[in-house]
Structures are given as C-alpha cells and as structure tokens.
Structure 1
Amino acid sequence: MAGVAGKQGNHVTPQALQEFLTALNEEIHERADWGEVADYIPELADVDPAQFGIAVVLAHGTVCSAGAASKGFSIQSVSKVFSLGCVLGRIGEQIWTRVGREPSGSRFDSILLLELEKGRPRNPFINAGALVVTDELLTGRTPRDALSEIIGYIRAAAGDDDIHIDKAVAQSEEKTGDRNRALANYLKSYGNLKNPADYTLGTYFHQCAIEMNCLQLANAGRCIAGLPGAPMLLSETRARRITALMLTCGHYDESGDFAFRVGLAGKSGVGGGLLMVAPDRASIAIWSPGLNETGNSRAANYAAERLAQFTGWSIFG
C-alpha cells in the first residue's frame, strides 16, 4: 500500500494519489469484505457485491480513479443531496419549517421518530425527510417537470448530460416501496405533504433510480466541495450547510461513527455509492454495492477511512 511520501501538509500530489488509489483497489479486492447487497429492491438484489470503484477530483481539476470508476450504479439516497440543493435554490430557508436538521439515530426508513415528532422529519436525508423535500420540489409542477429539474441539476453539477434514470430500478422500487408509502401517508396525516402521496412517491422512486458512475458523481460533488471551476449552483453558505448535514446525517445511525473514523462529510446510498467532500480540496465518489448492517457500503466506508488517513484531509483541521 502506498505510504505518505506524496503528502506535503494536506497537499497530495496527483501521482501519489493515483498510486494510492491503485493500491487501495487491490487491497479492497484482497480483503474481499463486501457485505450484502440491498436485496429488498429486486433490481439491486442481482448486483454482484464484489465490485469497487473510486474517483477523486482535486481542487485544480485533476481526476484520479481506480477500479470500476466508470461503471454506472443506482445512486439511491445520494440523490437527496442534489434534491435538497434544488429546493434550497427554489424556496431557500423555508424548507426548514417542514423538516429538521438533527441526526436521527435511527434507520433511514424508521417511522418511530416521525410519530413521536408529529410528522416533522428529523433531517432531509432520512427517507421521511427526503419525501418532504421531493414533495416541495413537486409543488406547482408535474412529476415529469420535477424529475427534469433534478436530472438537469445533477447534469449541470457533473458537467455531463449522459446521466439518466434507470427505469427498471424505479419500477422495482415502486413494487417494493411499502415502507415509504407508510411514511408518505403518515406525513400526509400531519399535513406535511402538499401533493398526492402517489405523486410524491413516484417522483421520489425515480429520483433514487438515477444512474451515475464514480467519475460523474465526483464531478457533481465539486459544487458542494467549493472547488475552483465548479458550476455555480450553490452559494457558499448553502454548500457549507449541506456539507454539515452530510457529516451529521449522511450515514443515518452510523453518521457519528463515520465522522469519528473518517472526518469528512459523506452521503451514502443503498446502491453502494458514497459521495464525500473535502471542502476546497477534493470531491470523492466511491462505489461498492455490498452493504453493512446499517445500510452503508462496507468497502466504500473502509476505503473512505483509508483515503482520509493517507491524505490527512479532514473538516476538523
């Protein structure tokens, strides 16, 4: 495994980083600690868990990658970062009257806190909170228009128009999305869903079924990381706030442990994707479809920790 010879303070040379990523890919495959795929979504149940890809976009624009960095995967809950960015652009701080900003400490699809807190989700990254964000994005428009906005936003962020919704995954989620239907109807019962539940759910399922690869996702994260030359889709303040939510809420009930071990903000998805940002330094995307007990990618989390150790990147200093 590559050492720290390429580091100068928190600066990492592209050559040293590339060597590290190549060695990391080999290490991940040698460890073969893949976890289990999200088998409750039939289209994801058939994905081979023994896959790994990583891409890092540095501040000056250099891209380093290894493994299956160009293979597409379902970004699932990573999409919540971008739908939140869309809504903040539309209505700004008003969204916080409908959804909180606190870690949940519970599973991503838990209904318990939603009941205790009378229909106001803890944060926009658990499923109930993401449904509220999607519902706000849907207000005053058709599901097709709302999805076009999300897709357009992500394409603009990535600088790549070849990003699409995997319709088979979306249909698979619709068939098995009973927990999300329960959450949507519970939100509706407390007056925290403005649109018909089926409209909001359909938009949400399709949003989660967006397919990207690590190279595209790392490029899309540049606007959150505040990298030079990134599309101006977020103000500095909003990018900083999204980063804070990624750190505190991006891994559900594993968020504190991820922050402790890695020290960088990240948002995971049950498709095995992980978007991570080192503000002003890098945007990172990692993918490995096997999940741990909390629904986060086992190999991606390990790789994130190894990368943070090698680079010295941390939002804490």
Structure 2
Amino acid sequence: MKTAVAVVFVAANFMAIMDTTIVNVALPTVGRDFGVDASGLSAVNVGYLVALAVFIPASGWLGNRFGTRRTVLAALLLFTVASGLCATAGSLGTLTGYRILQGVAGGLLTPVGMTMMLRAFPLAERLRAQKYIMLPTAVAPALGPVLGGWLVDSVSWHWVFLVNLPIGALALLFGVLFLPDFPGRGAPRFDGPGFVLAGGGLAAVLYSLTEAPDRGWGSPGILVPLAGGLVLLAAMVRWELRAEHPMIDLRITQDQLFRTTQLALLPINAAFMGVLYLYPLFLQTALGYDVLRSGLATFPEALGMMTASQIVPLL
C-alpha cells in the first residue's frame, strides 16, 4: 500500500512540477509561432496558476466527498488529456484555455496525493516519507528547463506537453491496478460562495497584474477588474471567517507558527518561481540564447533545492 501511494504521488507531483518549468523555456518559441510578444505570454502561466489557486482549496472537499483514489485518478486523467490538448493548440487563447484545464487537475493532484501519503505512512515513518515527497520537488525543476530546451530545439515546442503523456498514462495505469482507497470521511455542504468569491477575486486580480504592463496601470480596463477583484477577495475573507464549513479555513492563521511560516514562504516562492519564468525569457529574447542553452543556464537554481532536500531532514 505504501509503495503504491508513494509511486503514484511522486509520478503525479513530478509531472505537475516539471510541466511548469519545461513550459517556461518554450514560451519565446510559442510566442514567435503565434505572433505574440514576451509580455503577452504570461497568460499561459497565469491561467494555469489561477486554476491551481482556485481548485487547491476545493480538493479537500472533493477528496472527502468522492474518496482520495477516485479524485487522484480523475485528476491524473484530466492532466494527461489536457497536456495532449495543449500540444494541439493553434493559438495563444486556445493554449491558455487548455493550460487552465491542466491547472484544475494540478490543483487536485498535489493536496489529495499528500493526504494519501499522510494516511498511508504512520507518524513515526513520515520523516522517511518526506524524502519521497521532496524527490519530485527537487528533480523536476532541474530536469524541466534542460529537457524543454532540448525538445524545442530538436523537435518542436509541442513536445514539452506531449512528454507528459507517457508519464501520465503509466501513473494512471499503475494507480488503477494498485492504488488503495482512503474513503472520504463525509463532506459537509460545498462552500459555493467561498469558491466563487475566491475564484473570481483571484482571476480578476491576476488578470489585471498580467495585462497592466501592456495596457497601462491607469487604464480603466485594468483598474476596474483590479478593484473588483480586491473587493471579492475582501468579501471572501469575511465570508470564510463566518462560514460554518469554510472552503478555506482562515482561522488557522491564528497559529503563530503557521502564520510565520507562510509569511516566510511567500517571498521565497515568489523569487524562485519568478526567476524560473523570467530568466529563460531574458536569455532568449535579450541575449539571443537558443532554447537549450537557456535551459542549461536555468538548471543550477534547482541544485540548491536538491541540496537542501538532503540537508533539511538531517537538521
């Protein structure tokens, strides 16, 4: 049971994390094919990240309602199918839409997979399980830019999505055959208002931040959705604090350790993911690097994470 859960979790998490880094190095080539400049390419990643942010909180309810096995297998299937659809995209808008589907699946895969890991491994064995959890987080960011650069230069950018198909198909087949189920503990009524407020607010704010460099920060097309998104997020906070069964339990922020950890992780992850996105664009569009060289230049960032993943458990 433990081995099956670990194999499916590592494969799914590896695929989801690598997909982010492997796409980044291919974006300039995608932009040239679709006639879009570098500033307009962020929608491909923003759509994915918005879907992640919206469906990560909903994943807990879905896992309890339908069981972790069915939720993970459905998310694996959706992510694999969406990857194949991304490879067929003929415009930036179509590609962004398919990336949103990937984000929906990715938002379900990691939290529900983590829940399965915690239920499969008793407390005394969770430090050992942490090594499985860190494996995709450490290896995928290192492999993604290099593999993506080689695929784009050798074949085409479509292959940065097609590479997910064999990984997803094998993980799905293995999961169908061997993955145990952890039945849901019963789910209360779905927090529809919280889901709508969080999704609408995040989408509006991220849209404004994405389009502002092109349209101008003073443009009504930016200020209106930005203000509307902030209002929705403020209403979401108020609603979730008063809801009996909130989708996002904001009361956990009263825990000092949790609050301090999240405040520390915010700038760390912003810097890490920001560099992974901007650095390949800069190397290719400003310095004239080919895609493989930009991937190799991005690769060392992952070495720090791989080193830390080995040191931290010892500490």
Question: Which category describes the TM-score, using the shorter chain as reference length?
Answer: under 0.3
Whose Rg is larger?
2
| Structure with more strand by fraction | 1
- Which structure's relative contact order is higher, taking Cα pairs within 8 Å and 6+ residues apart? 2
- After TM superposition, the score normalised by the length of structure 1 is 0.26
